[in-house]
Structure 1
Amino acid sequence: MTTDTRHTPTTRTVTTRTIEYAADGLTMIGHLALPAGVDRRPAVLVGPEGVGLSDVERRRADALAELGYVALAFDLHGGRYLGDPEEMLARCMPLLADPDRMRGIGHAALDVLRAEPRADPERIAAVGYGTGGAIALELGRDGVDLRAIATVNALTTGRPGEAAHIRCPVWAGVGSEDPIMPPAQRDAFTAEMQAAGVDWRLAVYGGALHAFHHPTVEHVVRPGVGYHPLHARRAWRDVVDLLAECLPVTD
């Protein structure tokens, strides 16, 4: 475990640590970001894209800590970043087809976050991207008491009837040109949420591709994948607004 204390441009002090924990038969290496102070704060799980935990999600956890949240960016692949698309798909496709495995990964990270003394275990939200977003949704379908779920690029549907266990608002964001989450998948997702009586909303970002929020994908030559800086900023603001509504920080 390593610790780094630094001053941010907002003058808040953020402390970060790497956290090792077991999940899915692997030793996961998460990134914990703590806000200034010693009091308990609302907490946020941050789930990464299928390639795995990167500096993109670590910076988002740090940004949430700057806003006053305890944030844990969780791991998917035992500390590995799967930059090769074929390797990533070989691991993620079976995972996405297995809700119980996804829930196991999510619960392991949630246990780490709940055990952090600065985190209020009664006030937790989950924010996820791609595979990490699918895991956030599965925690909701498993009946976990979350204050909010936000997911980008992960309009995944679950087992019949289980969306009724979701106990919090759900926000989902997707690019209009995302071939992995096409209109038919959007319709299936929103139909599931509506039938379950979930408080849901969907933001479709015009012209954006898959993983539009992830800066490093601008170097990936792969059909349907691309970074969109403007919509990335908008999606982040939408996530922060959801947290402010459902999980406010009170100094």
Structure 2
Amino acid sequence: MLPINTRTVEYRADGLTMSGHLALPAGTGRGPAVLLGPEGMGLSDVERRRADALAELGYVALAFDLHGGRYLGDPEEMLARCMPLLADPERMRALGHAALDVLAAEPRVDPDRIAAVGYGTGGMIALELGRDGVDLRAIGTVNGLNTGRPGEAARIRCPVWAGVGSEDPIMSAAQREAFTAEMQAAGVDWRLTVYGGALHAFHHPPVGHPTVPGVGHHPRHARRAWHDVVALLTECLPVTE
């Protein structure tokens, strides 16, 4: 396997200087790209490694920042920043657009072939980009389900895949039902995978700091969720197209 290249990219969003992680596949030509959003804690080595793994598959990948280069390991600080953000679709969209603009401007990227994949808060931002009518090839979200303003899901122009743990108290059964009802009513090509026995953030390796209740790693389902993300991209955004 040929080596990938990575670099930090800085850009402005939400009144902050963001530090994203850009991973480029071997070669020099233009190709498909993935915008990768992190959990509410913010960009960490987990998302950087996922961006690198996507680059190894042939995608240009940008793991974007939420908190101006900070990782919010204190649950109270994280909730204090994220809860107002998640209640404001325009702020979420602005964060997503700022990162998407950076990715689309990269010379190695075919701007007509971009997907958005996110985890938690990052997944909700990916969904809001779809509701804003962004021309994406696919949207994937893991334990990040939100419902949009009435009628806006009809602007989603690509398949949507979502994954969630069956025991996730943050993404409750009622929230899952509201999300799927929204997608169905809007005529979106959608899928939902429920991972039995998994909690919130089941995909994320254990962290060395306190977390909010209902969070827990599930190694087997974490591997399955990654395989499902890759399958979504293989179907909707093949590298060899």
TM-score, normalised via structure 2 length: 0.98
Aligned AA for 1:31? H
| Per-residue Cα deviation, 1:192-235 (whole angstroms, up to 9, x for no partner) | 00000000000000000000000034864542100000000000
* 1:17–1:32 Cα contact (<8 Å) kept: yes
Between the aligned partners of 1:56 and 1:249, the Cα distance in structure 2 is 23
Aligned AA for 1:82? L
Between the aligned partners of 1:143 and 1:248, the Cα distance in structure 2 is 22
RMSD, matched Cα? 1.1
Which protein, 1 or 2, shows the higher relative CO under an 8 Å CA cutoff with sep ≥ 6? 2
Partner of 1:224: 214
Between the aligned partners of 2:183 and 2:216, the Cα distance in structure 1 is 28
Please list every run of 5 or more consecutive structure 2 residues that lacks an aligned counterpart in the other structure. Answer: none
Partner of 2:123: 133
Cα 1:179–1:217 change in 2 (3 A) is farther
* 1:51–1:82 Cα contact (<8 Å) kept: yes
Residue among 59, 68, 93 paired with 1:103: 93
Partner of 1:16: 6
* 1:32–1:61 Cα contact (<8 Å) kept: yes
* 1:62–1:71 Cα contact (<8 Å) kept: yes
**Do structure 1's residue 61 and structure 2's residue 76 form an aligned pair?**
no
Between the aligned partners of 1:110 and 1:118, the Cα distance in structure 2 is 14
Between the aligned partners of 1:94 and 1:219, the Cα distance in structure 2 is 23
Partner of 2:228: 238
Between the aligned partners of 1:38 and 1:14, the Cα distance in structure 2 is 11
Residue among 183, 186, 196 paired with 1:206: 196
| Per-residue Cα deviation, 1:142-189 (whole angstroms, up to 9, x for no partner) | 000000000011110011100000000000000000000010000000
Aligned AA for 1:216? P
Between the aligned partners of 2:39 and 2:211, the Cα distance in structure 1 is 17
Partner of 1:79: 69
Partner of 2:33: 43
Cα 1:220–1:206 change in 2 (3 A) is farther
How many residues are matched? 241
Residue among 155, 161, 167 paired with 1:171: 161
Aligned AA for 1:215? P
Between the aligned partners of 2:130 and 2:187, the Cα distance in structure 1 is 13
| Per-residue Cα deviation, 1:88-139 (whole angstroms, up to 9, x for no partner) | 0000000000000000000000000000000110000000000000000000
Aligned AA for 1:113? L
Percent identity, aligned pairs only, is: 84
Q: Secondary structure at the match of 2:169?
A: coil
Between the aligned partners of 1:177 and 1:107, the Cα distance in structure 2 is 32
Between the aligned partners of 1:95 and 1:182, the Cα distance in structure 2 is 20
Aligned AA for 2:88? D
* 2:130–2:157 Cα contact (<8 Å) kept: yes
Between the aligned partners of 2:202 and 2:9, the Cα distance in structure 1 is 28
